[in-house]
Amino acid sequence: MKSPVEQTLPEIGTKKRLAVFKFASCDGCQLSLLDCEDELLAVADAVEIAYFLEATSRIAPGPYDVALVEGSITTPYDAERIQEVRRQASYLVTIGACATSGGIQSLKNWADHEDFLRCVYARPDYISTLETSTAIADHVAVDFELRGCPINRYQLIDVLKSLIAGRRPRTPSHSVCLDCKRRATVCVEVAQGLPCLGPVTHTGCGAICPAYDRGCYGCFGPAAQPNCDSLVAQYLDTGSTHEDLIPLLHNFNADAPEFRDAGNQIRQSAGLSTTGGRP
Ligand code: SF4
Ligand code: SF4
């Protein structure tokens, strides 16, 4: 169920009922939506905000035409709740690295979950949580995924405009390298030998990190058809170590299959666990 499966598009011409749901996340992607301000005015007449607790305590019951879902699944309660969100939503869009790839919290997928509980909570026995953090698409069908940590608000508005117009949303899926070329940034991999995830990372950030002389660390997740194996082999050949590459791949989008598998191969070759001790 990992790939988005598009359902019926919302009907054209009617005011769309929009709901925004939060799961395990930092709220940054919802804030990107709130930050839109002027851009939101362009769609305000065509949308009724029916459920958006970050913005208003007014709650209108479902069903909803479009549900935006932020955050990953980390508790048994949320694993149930997302099923109800799916039932209520005609078109479900996941927003951000947490929702599309498990988020930074999916680093616990490679660690002993009980250790984390003991470190963080005075009474871990009060906490009900799953051993892993997983993407929304691992639990329900998702119609469209919008990547990034946080998302690009212009891409979000574009997705909403498409749905209002009854069109399938489309966002570019090329790699960050193309954006570097467009802004004439000197390649940090070629010029400085820094490991950079740009060749396998989805566009959306505007290639900010290379413009500030550091390698991309993949916050928009995998680009279309990323060749992670080849990139990792190249970096290992040119002096990067396991210690450099594992945190690069197992990061904000650690549980995205392409980054997860490439990072796991390096972990295996370094004799590290790929499951956090789980069978
Ligand atoms: S994807 Fe990043 S910004 Fe968005 S909710 Fe998750 S941690 Fe926050
Ligand atoms: S700096 Fe990174 S993203 Fe930019 S062109 Fe070089 S490898 Fe690609």
Confidence of residue 41 (pLDDT cuts 50, 70, 90): confident
CA distance 175 to 211: 15
Considering only CA atoms, which residue is closest to atom 5 of ligand 2? 177
pLDDT of residue 1: 45
Confidence of residue 45 (pLDDT cuts 50, 70, 90): confident
Please indicate whether residue 266, judged by its CB atom, sits closer than 6 Å to ligand 1: no
**CATH number 3.40.50.700 is the correct assignment for the domain at 16-164:** yes
Please indicate whether residue 70, judged by its CB atom, sits closer than 6 Å to ligand 1: yes
Cα 125 to ligand 2 centroid, rounded to whole Å: 46
Task: Name the β-bridge partners of 175.
Answer: 202
Model confidence pLDDT, tens digit, residues 164-192: 988 999 999 999 999 999 999 999 999 99
Model confidence pLDDT, tens digit, residues 196-213: 999 999 999 999 999 999
Please indicate whether residue 180, judged by its CB atom, sits closer than 6 Å to ligand 2: yes
Pick the ligand that lies closest to the CA of residue 153.
1
Higher-pLDDT residue of 39 and 167 is 167
pLDDT of residue 3: 46
Question: Which tokens sit at 11?
Answer: 């009907």
Residue linked to tokens 């309660």: 77
Strand order in the sheet with 144-146: 47-52, 16-22, 64-70, 89-95, 144-146
Confidence of residue 11 (pLDDT cuts 50, 70, 90): low
Domain map of the chain by residue range? 16-164, 176-269
Is the pLDDT at 4 greater than 60, yes or no? no
Considering only CA atoms, which residue is closest to atom 3 of ligand 2? 198
Sign of CA dihedral 20, 222, 148, 26: positive
The reply to whether the predicted model has a pTM over 0.85 is yes
* Averaged pLDDT for residues 75-88: 98
Confidence of residue 23 (pLDDT cuts 50, 70, 90): very high
Cα 200 to ligand 2 centroid, rounded to whole Å: 10
CA distance 261 to 167: 33
CA distance 226 to 199: 8
In the chain, what percentage of residues exceed pLDDT 90? 78
* Averaged pLDDT for residues 211-237: 95
Helices 153-164, 28-35: inter-axial angle, 10-degree rounding: 70
Confidence of residue 14 (pLDDT cuts 50, 70, 90): confident
Model confidence pLDDT, tens digit, residues 145-157: 999 999 999 999 9
- What does the mean pLDDT of the chain come to? 92
pLDDT of residue 113: 87
Mutate-to-test residue for ligand 1 from 21, 29, 33, 68, highest number of ligand atoms within 8 A of CB: 29
Question: Which tokens sit at 61?
Answer: 């019951």
pLDDT of residue 75: 97
Contacting residues for 163 by C-beta, under 8 A, at least 6 apart: 9, 10, 16, 65, 66, 91, 169
pLDDT of residue 259: 96
pLDDT of residue 250: 95
CA distance 267 to 279: 16
Closest-CA residue to 263 (of 236, 241, 242): 242
Please indicate whether residue 198, judged by its CB atom, sits closer than 6 Å to ligand 2: yes
